[in-house]
Structure formats: C-alpha cells, structure tokens
Structure 1
Amino acid sequence: MLISPTALYALALLAIPLGAIVLISFWTQTGVRDFDTTLTGANYVEALSDPIYRALMFRSLRIAGLVTLVTVLAAFPIAYFVSFGVPAQKKSLWIFLITIPFWTSYLIRVFLWKVILGYNGVFNSGLKVLGVIDQPLTFLLYNANSVVITLAHAYAPFAILPIFVALEKIDRSLLEAARDLGENRVMTFLRVTLPLAAPGVIAAVLIVFIPTIGDYVTPELIGGPGGTMIANMIQAQFLRLNNAPLGAALAVLAMLIVSVIAVAFLVLGSRASGAKGTRK
C-alpha cells in the first residue's frame, strides 16, 4: 500500500507510453491520424532490410561509442584530480564548478559550439591568427566530428560525477599497501585504483551512451548530412513523413540494441565488483 502510488505513477509515465510505442509499431498508418490496427511485422521488415536505416543505426552506434569513449577518457582525469588532488574542504567547490554547465540551456551550448567550430568561428580564426592554417578547416562542423565534440562536452559532468563517487569510496590504505609492497604509482593505479573505480566507469559509460544514441537535437543543428543519427529519422517519420508505425518500429529496435549493450556493460560492472570483493 505504501509503494502503490509510486508504482502507479511509474506505470503511467513509463510502462504505458512504452507499451503504446510497441503496439503502434505493429500497425499501419493509412492517413494523417488514421491507423489500420491489424497487427503486422512489415514495419520491422522494412526497418531491418532498408540499407538507409541500417546505415543510420550503425552510424548512431559509432557516434555514441565515440562520444562515450571521449567523454569517459576526458572525465576520468578530472574526477581523479578532484578525488586525490584536491583538499577535502575544497572538493565541494570543485563539484559545484563542474555542475556550472547545467546552468545554461542545452540549446545555447550547442549553438556556442556551432560558433566555435564554424568556418569563420573562434577555432578557425584563432588558428589563422597564429599562422597554423591559411584556409579555415571544413571538417569541424556539419559532420560526425562536431556531433562527437558537442555531445562529449554536454555529457562530461554526467561522467565525472559517478567516477568521482567511485574514487571517493576507495580505501586509501589499499593504495599505501600496494606502494609498501613495491608497486610504483603506475602499477598501483592499474592494479588497484582502476579496478576499484570500474563500477563508476561503467555507470559513466551507461549514463553517457544511452541518451547519446537517442539525441536528435545536436545532429539536427550541427551534424549535417554526415552527422544524422537514427533519432533524426525517428523524428522525421513521426512529424514529417506521417509514418508513426515505422518510426515506432525504429525506436523499438534502437531501444533493444541499446538494452543489449547496456546489459553487457552491467555484466562487466558486476564482474568488476565481484573481482573487487574477492580481492578484499
């Protein structure tokens, strides 16, 4: 009785919309708002057989993977510095500074990167002033590169915080014991710190990867033809091409693929936690 209101709330906002998307994916759209509710798998056949949809899905996975890799690799040193290099009384200030990007609208940050990476933007202008280039670089904007850079910046705080929490939980005496047993700093990091921080890294990977593959705003604004992702096609099917069932089928397939990848990372995380428990 105590949890039933929350359970009903979650059911209404999560399970029912998801079930509606799955159901619509088996229908056929016959008009602007008219559907043939006869169940059919034609939408899934088209989604899996059309090379355009397959290419968009693979591109989305590749971009999301690159964003996740870049974000986590950039976030780990920052989290490590805050955890190990900042005095305890100043850590709250650093966490506060890390969350400052959340104060600005996501759209504003995307447009700022558009200004920075543009043909006559800040980056190209700076390189021209320094004499590094004669002509502006054209590969920075309206392609997958700009999408990776922008999304990596947008999701960096989401990766820093779970890694920082995992690093904060590490017993410092374990690091001292490793040093006393003859390990140097590099091997201590690789054999003690990194394995113990693995759950935080896995959490950061999931937090970044899952929303990235469903992002359509950034690819729409700065991705160009080479940065279009599957979410842009789903949006187009629903809002422009008047084919909600096919858009729903693409959304369900994307969710299934992301779920498989997420479960794989969760298994890795549980194994890392198990190995950590065994070492203890």
Structure 2
Amino acid sequence: MGILDTSPRVRAAALVAPPFLYALALLAFPLIAIIVISFWTQSGLALNRVFTLENYREIFSSPIYVWGNANRWGVLPLSLFVSATVTLVTVVLAYPIAYFVSFVVAPERKALWLFLITIPFWTSYLIRVFLWKVILGFNGVVNTGLQSLGVIEEPLSVLLYNLNSVIITLSHAYAVFAILPIYVALEKIDRSLLEASQDLGESRFSTFLRVTLPLSVPGIVGAVLIVFIPTIGDYVTPELMLGSGGRLMSNVIQTQFLQLNNWPLGAALSIITMLAVGIVSLVFILLNRRWLRGRA
C-alpha cells in the first residue's frame, strides 16, 4: 500500500490495468487469432496449421469475392456499395432532424425530442427488421396502402428481397447513431456567429452554407464513420431482407464459419473486409482534414 500511496505511475497503472486487460482479452486476442487462422487451411474437419497464402489467393482469384465479373459484382464491392449508400441516405435524412432539434425546438423541450427519437430503438433489432418485412412485403403495408389509394394495381415486387429493402432497413436501424453526433456538433456552434453573419448581410440560407454546415462537419464525419463501419458487418438484415437471391460479405463469412466449416477462408475474408473498411474510412478522414485545412 505504501508504494501505491506514493507512486503516481503505479496508481495510474493500477487504474488502467483492468480495462486494458479486458480490452486485450475481448479485442486483441480474438483479432490475433483471426489473423493467424487466416494463414492456415482446412483439410476436411482438421485445420492444417502450415503457414500459407492459399486463402488470400483464392479470394483474389475468384470472381465471387472481390473482382466480380461482367454480369455480377463481387461480394466485397457490393457490400461496400450498400454500406456507402446506407451511410449517405442515413446522414442526409438525419441532418434535418438534428438541425430542427438544435435550432428550432425550444431548449426546455430538446430532451423530450431526443427521448422521442430514441424510443423506436428500445425494441429488439430483430423485431424491427421483421417489422420492415411486414411493411415492405408483397401484401404489406406499403403495397396495400398504394393499392387502396389507386396508385398501383398490382403489388410491387421491388420492395422486398433485394438491396432496396436492405438499404431501407439499415438506414432506419442506424438513424439514431447519425442524428446524435450531428446534433451534438450543431449544439456546440456559437449562435453569435450566425447573428454576425446575418448582420453582415448574409441570408439564412447562405449563413447555413458558409457557417453552420462547415462548423457541423465534425458531427457529420462522426455520423458517417459510426454508420458506415458497422453496416458492412451487419448479418441479420441481409439474411432476412435479401432472401435466397444474394448475400453480402457478412453472410459469406458466416457461411464459411458455420456451414462450410472453413474457418481459415472465413478468417481471411474477415481480414480483407476489415482492411477495405479501414482504407475507405482512412481516405474519408484524410479528405475531410484536407478540406478543413483548405478552409482555414
């Protein structure tokens, strides 16, 4: 106890050690295991632990995973496209909501609005996905409503079991994760800057473009990363909303691990996906920094 009482470094190490060991056990060790397994091969039900690049050769030589062919995208670029589209749709729809709560709603009612925004996310994620199946189904709410209004004669078949349904469901599922960081960034903006801009003759719209939007970029960047990174690994939504017509990378990885019992190939696919997401995120962050530096 005497050492702990007199040494700040020891006290700091004692405080940091539990979360560090916890993160090491739940994050670092599994990641290291996946990396190691990706260089093995599967021989029947047994793992061949001889170091090899065979799994990566198969991934980059097969038209299924990365490069695709003339008639079909590879699984990885298709997954990146879906995640990017979901991110774009989510952020574009989330920004007006965050702006309304931050600038229009009275300060004493903002907490209530944030509470109302988060209510749908109190229910199970799985239940929400099934509800979207009911809404978008052949005889679902959307088709039934459009038929009753006379807009369509036959139910639309493009709403479910395709990428459209995946994008719609994921956009709703991750909406709150885009609204909150944008709202926080908008709340940090000094309102006197907006008043000064309008006093200098700028319109409300030009003030938004030249002051509010640039100052809210950190929130937008946070929302983009928070939505883009997890959506590419989402397994439940593509499994339920795509049906048997196609699969995204998360479903292909799950198939390799649990159905085909090919852990090395599944691990290699996981590593390739993480690297692709990391590269895309890093490029986005660097472009954002360059844009901010250009405006400084």
TM-score by length of 2: 0.90
How far does residue 251 in structure 1 lie from its aligned partner after superposition? Answer: 0.4
CA contact (8 A) 1:144 1:227 kept: no
CA distance in 2, matches of 1:226, 1:82: 40
* CA-to-aligned-CA distance 1:123-182 (integer Å, 9 cap, x gap): 000000000000000000000000000000000000000000000000011111111111
1:14 is the counterpart of 2:27: yes
1:205-224 to 2 correspondences below 5 Å: 205-224=224-243
How far does residue 272 in structure 1 lie from its aligned partner after superposition? Answer: 5.5
How far does residue 267 in structure 1 lie from its aligned partner after superposition? Answer: 2.4
The one-letter amino acid paired with 2:59 is A
Which of the numbers 125, 129, 133 marks the counterpart of 1:106? 125
CA distance in 2, matches of 1:227, 1:97: 35
1:63 is the counterpart of 2:82: yes
CA distance in 2, matches of 1:155, 1:44: 32
Q: Which runs of 4+ in 1 moved over 4 A?
A: 271-276
Which of the numbers 6, 18, 22 marks the counterpart of 1:5? 18
- Greater shift, 260-269 or 36-45, is seen at 260-269
Q: Which residue of 1 aligns with 2:63?
A: 51
CA distance in 2, matches of 1:117, 1:46: 37
CA contact (8 A) 1:160 1:204 kept: yes
Larger Rg: 2
The one-letter amino acid paired with 2:211 is V
1:140 is the counterpart of 2:164: no
Distance 1:237 1:161, change over 3 A: same
1:181-260 to 2 correspondences below 5 Å: 181-226=200-245, 228-260=247-279
CA distance in 1, matches of 2:22, 2:289: 29
Distance 1:272 1:91, change over 3 A: farther
* CA-to-aligned-CA distance 1:41-76 (integer Å, 9 cap, x gap): 010111111111121111101110110000000000
TM-score by length of 1: 0.95
Q: Which residue of 1 aligns with 2:36?
A: 23
CA contact (8 A) 1:67 1:151 kept: yes
Q: Which residue of 1 aligns with 2:53?
A: 41
1:122 is the counterpart of 2:109: no
Q: Which residue of 1 aligns with 2:103?
A: 84
Could you say which structure has the greater relative contact order, defined with CA pairs below 8 angstroms and 6 or more residues apart?
Answer: 1
CA distance in 2, matches of 1:173, 1:56: 49
CA distance in 2, matches of 1:268, 1:160: 22
CA distance in 2, matches of 1:103, 1:227: 30
Q: Which residue of 2 aligns with 1:164?
A: 183
Distance 1:154 1:70, change over 3 A: same
CA distance in 1, matches of 2:188, 2:209: 17
The one-letter amino acid paired with 2:21 is L
SS, match of residue 135 in structure 1: coil
How far does residue 186 in structure 1 lie from its aligned partner after superposition? Answer: 1.4
How far does residue 268 in structure 1 lie from its aligned partner after superposition? Answer: 3.7
How far does residue 102 in structure 1 lie from its aligned partner after superposition? Answer: 1.8
CA distance in 2, matches of 1:6, 1:137: 51
How far does residue 266 in structure 1 lie from its aligned partner after superposition? Answer: 2.4
* CA-to-aligned-CA distance 1:230-255 (integer Å, 9 cap, x gap): 11000000001111100100000000
CA distance in 1, matches of 2:233, 2:79: 8
CA distance in 2, matches of 1:179, 1:64: 38
Distance 1:7 1:272, change over 3 A: farther
CA distance in 2, matches of 1:175, 1:118: 46
User: Which structure's residues are more often helix, by fraction?
Assistant: 1
